[in-house]
Amino acid sequence: MKNFRLFFTTQDTGSIEFLVCFVADDGTRCARPESERLRQKIREGVRSRICSKTFILPVIARHSSKEIAILRKPKEDMPSTNPSTFNHVIFEVGPPGNTWKYCVERERLAERSEWFRAMLVGPLAPAPSDPPPLLKLQHVEKRAFDNLLRYFLDEPVNFQSVPTARDTLDVAHQYLCSELARLAVEYLERNLNTQNVLEIYEGLGLYANHETPDLNRSSNSPTAPPAPGDDAGEIAVLCTRLLSACLHKIDVESDTVFGQQHFEELNSVEVEELASRDTLKLTDESILFNALDRWAAAECRRNGIEPSASNKRSALSNDVWYSVRYPLMTDRKFIEGPMASGILTSEESALIVARILGHVEDLEGEEVKNLLLPKLNSTPRVTAVTYEDLCYTMSKPGTKECQDNRKNRRKECVTQGHRTCTKIGTCMVRVLAWIFD
């Protein structure tokens, strides 16, 4: 058998690499005139196989009994410049000038959140690029978003402060992450106090159920659980529970809560909800009026107008101003507080003073009385334990004590009536002096 000499020719067509081997029986090169016709046949055969997407193309070389394969290297196996960047996206989180940036994998977030699935791999997703596309989330607090990513990446979430936990609850609601919302609510419940209750309460009603929580109902009362997989329903139940805890704290510590500066940051709906609660344990209704006065002044400044008495009156509805139970105030507290502020009209002030002193029938103007008297609420916010209730709780041998207490109460009422009469003249002089001043 003669020695063989091999000649190699490489031809590149697109992403397909061909290797052709020619074997000669004699010592001469295969480059003779009929080799051109052979190459032409090879090219035609290759083109036909490419059109049929054949991966292995057999070719028989002339003057050779050996079969040589032409292999196709798939295009998807070709290395790219940086393939990992095409599956990533960059988030810029936070307001301008105070942002954090995260480079995250699209598919991993899409698997954990329906919101991210629609955002990153849906029809409106940004096109892959190198470097990855930039998405700005200016409305999201950066530390809260960091907790969200930690949860999605199965890393521990540790809250360091109440504001961060509250912001994390907002992010969990936006991205429908019920388990992260549960962690935030449990932290907020453990750290709820009079100093941060308004900060937690602010905006919480948007996430809770539409019905106002019934704080008188037992915590063990059955409630309708959300459907399985209903993240929005689970978050609403959690936020309703947290809202109930906030309202209970506000009821118990009303004097302290209404004196806080953060009360001025609430919206008008939240202010109306708190002012109309029957369970507020206020030691004096003037505390609530002063809080409403401060909120109205802040609202005027937010709108760029002068915080005058008329503008502050317009900042809240009449129902809110009359949620203050003026008849429960003393005459002095009312004159030095609501009456001196100028928010109430002179007719309203005169009628309220007369109501406090018990001389409404002495005032003139039936129309004014018919319009204003129904708005005045003299019912105590917290139901006081009446004398009859105390007698009911006593045992039967204590009947004589009940009778003695009843007599003493009548004597106190008579004494109080005499004291009230002595104050009528002084109070009416004060009212008239204020009206005509």
Domain boundaries, the chain: 1-24+85-139, 140-211+231-256, 266-385
Compute the C-alpha angle 108/110/111, nearest 5°. 70
Q: What is the mean pLDDT of residues 221-233?
A: 63
Q: What pLDDT does 371 receive?
A: 73
Is the pTM higher than 0.85? no
Distance of CA 299 to the CA centre of its chain: 22
The whole-angstrom separation of Cα 321 and Cα 375 is: 10
Q: What is the mean pLDDT of residues 364-393?
A: 63
How is residue 194 written in tokens?
């009079």
Q: What is the mean pLDDT of residues 247-273?
A: 96
Compute the C-alpha angle 47/52/57, nearest 5°. 65
Q: What pLDDT does 37 receive?
A: 62
**DSSP notation for 212-223:** PP-TTS-TTS--
pLDDT band at 191 (very low <50, low <70, confident <90, very high): very high
Q: What pLDDT does 241 receive?
A: 96
The whole-angstrom separation of Cα 288 and Cα 283 is: 10
